[in-house]
Amino acid sequence: MWSAIDYMYRDAGNFKAFGTVIVEGPLRAADQEIIRSRLSSGEFFIAEQVGVPPLYHELYRWSRGVTSLDHCWHEFIGVREIGAPEPELVTFKADELVGRFASVKEWDEELSAHFSVDIRP
């Protein structure tokens, strides 16, 4: 069984980039609750802190790099079950990804390439 976690980066101008990570194994309700309990304001996380690929670069093709609209937060969209993974997506084992979120006591903005931009969710 495989699961997918969908997430996005939305800058302060509401420009969006979407991403998905594939998880080997089911993300049960208890696993999803652990992940959700660690999100800032119930929806935000710092991708670099949990090893999820950041999506900032998706917007750079229009902005040519970091702008004053950028910040360090990604938005958790949700979890879904999938049949088979797409090979180009990052793959985690379910317990590994849940463990990464569970280990977060406080989000560390300094881990983000956009740390110096002072826009918060």
Domain spans of the chain, in order of start: 2-111
Question: What percent of the chain has a predicted confidence (pLDDT) above 90?
Answer: 62
The pLDDT of residue 15 is above 60: yes
Largest CA-CA distance found in the chain, in angstroms, rounded: 41
Mean pLDDT of 55-63: 86
Pairing of strands 16-24, 91-93: parallel
Mean predicted lDDT score pLDDT of the chain: 89
